[in-house]
A and B are shown apart, each in its own frame.
Chain A
Amino acid sequence: MSNDEQIISGCINGEEKYRYMLYKQYSPILYGTALRYTNTEDDAQDVLQEAFILIFDNIKQYNGKGKLVAWMNKIVINQALKLYQKQIKNTLVDYEEYENTLIDNSVAEYDWLSYQLLLDLIHQLPTGYQMVFNLCEIEGYSYEEVAKMLNCSLGTCRSQLFKAKKKLKQKIVELQKQKEIL
């Protein structure tokens, strides 16, 4: 029995010791996800807390296929999408044929690009863009999967992703310019 399996069976039996082991092991990485999908640390903590309760309640349903962390990650994401449902709907209403795909989205890894700043930048995006960007780019879901998750069309999903990238790049370039001036 591997470590994970032991922890899982312990959690299924409702033993607090194993719950804590699971939490201890995976909460940081899941918190990282939650922070990306929410706008404030408070919201991220709420999402994480609710997600862990769901994880413990439903861990029986984890079928061993795929990594445990991926399964839990999805629960965290779903929880965040649920929390921001309204905002997502409001920011994803417009459908546009996606713009020039050859647009230059290259960016240098400046030393001042801290986690906090990068997070702040995605928090500043409209909620819909933020979710699409996270799901497509960082989690690596396909457009089809994302469109299904966010309940929008493929075109909307694609156009929002391009807009999100454009905005992010603009912000970074702007900030770099400011740094150069100062």
Chain B
Amino acid sequence: MKTYKDIGELYKDKFAGYAPTPPEQVWNNVQKHYKKHNFVKTKYMLGAIGIVACAIIGFCLLYTLRPNTEKASTNKVFVQNTKPQLTEKQTTEENQPIATNMANNNNNISHSNINKQKAINQQHRNDCKENAPSQTFALPNTPQQENNQHVLMEKETPHPTNTDMAENTENKTNTDSPHITFSKDTSIVEGEQVYLFVKNAHNILWSTGEKTSTILVAPTYNETYAATFTQANDEDTTIYIQVNIENQTHIFIPSAFTPNGDGLNDEFKVSASETLTTFFISIVSAQTKQIVFQSNDININWDGTLKGTPQPEGRYLYSIQYQDKLGKIHQKQGDFLLIRTY
């Protein structure tokens, strides 16, 4: 066995005579390029005409269909509303799903709705560009469900004076003054920051000394933040927001495995330091681009076969998507080697 002084020399030697035949397709494409060349101009013309035609048809369709969908959604959303004409303008395409959900909540509060509500809150947080979920204040006896509902109302309607909307969702509340909302207790990973807020309150004083309605905090251990503020009835109140620190989730992905049945690295095993809420892995062969393995269970590992057929040695690509305990979605991509030894 020859030993090379430098790995570069080994590569140079090995690849000096390396001349694999490219697939026929390459030549076919080159040939096509030259055959096409003559037709290119006419083709571009046709293409341009096609695109313009599509655009015109698209616009026509859009304009004819649009009013219909808007009407339909309005009917759905305000099915219980006694004065539908007042709120019609407010229903834009954007808040359609949220509004639909509110109507559902009025009908019955079931378990499935809680999940939906969570989803909405999530969406909502994104809308508001704030990390912390919110709670509603000044409704001590109302269940959480309705609280959430109310927050949504406030956020979605830029003019809270529209009492019709408020009456429709919550009859018992006093709609004269805007409701005070503040961040829910939340969890973050150490090193992250989170916004905490109190909305629609006066004379806010945070335990951090800040006086703004929104503060940015980055605690290194579990911490409770207090905010004192004045309510509409001139009473001072203090609320507490707990921020918990969760462990960062680490994912271990091996760089190679050897499926030979000796009990050592026989499977491509991905592991996580914390429990994951969701997990999905997809493995693709780098050579053939064929999907060789997919799983949504971190405990089910790839054994190097596809439908029982052992796959060849070489490079494979993985794509992993997971959601950690905090509900954050992560994505990882990379490659690893399948090595065959017998």
Interface of A with B (CB < 8 Å)? 14, 16, 19-20, 23, 27-29, 31-32, 35-36, 39-42, 44-45, 48-49, 52-53, 56, 105-111, 113, 115-118, 120, 122-124, 133, 136-138, 140, 165, 168-169, 172, 174-175, 178-179, 181-182
Partner of B335, one of A14, A28, A124: A124
How many B residues, CB 8 Å from partner?
A: 44
Query: Is B297 interfacial (CB 8 A cutoff)?
Result: no
Please tell me if the beta carbons of A111 and B1 are within 8 angstroms of each other in the complex. yes
**A-B interface contact total, Cβ < 8 Å:** 134
* Contact mask for chain B residues 1-45; partner A; CB cutoff 8 A; 1 contact, 0 none: 111111111111011001111110111011101100000000000
Interface SS of chain A: helix
Collect the chain A residues with CB atoms within 8 Å of residue B286's CB: 39-40, 120, 123
Q: Which residue of B is nearest A47, CB measured?
A: B26
Collect the chain B residues with CB atoms within 8 Å of residue A140's CB: 12
CA distance A165 to B305 in the complex (A): 33
Collect the chain A residues with CB atoms within 8 Å of residue B9's CB: 137
Please tell me if the beta carbons of A108 and B264 are within 8 angstroms of each other in the complex. no
CA distance A138 to B21 in the complex (A): 20
Collect the chain B residues with CB atoms within 8 Å of residue A137's CB: 8-9, 11-12
CA distance A138 to B12 in the complex (A): 5
With contact pairs A23-B27, A52-B30, A182-B341 given, residues A133 and B20 touching in the complex (Cβ less than 8 Å) = no
Please tell me if the beta carbons of B289 and A42 are within 8 angstroms of each other in the complex. yes
Which residues, 286 to 326 on B, are CB-close (under 8 Å) to A? 286-287, 289, 313-315
Query: Is B256 interfacial (CB 8 A cutoff)?
Result: yes
Collect the chain B residues with CB atoms within 8 Å of residue A36's CB: 15
CB A14 to nearest CB in B, in angstroms, measures: 8
Collect the chain B residues with CB atoms within 8 Å of residue A133's CB: 8, 11
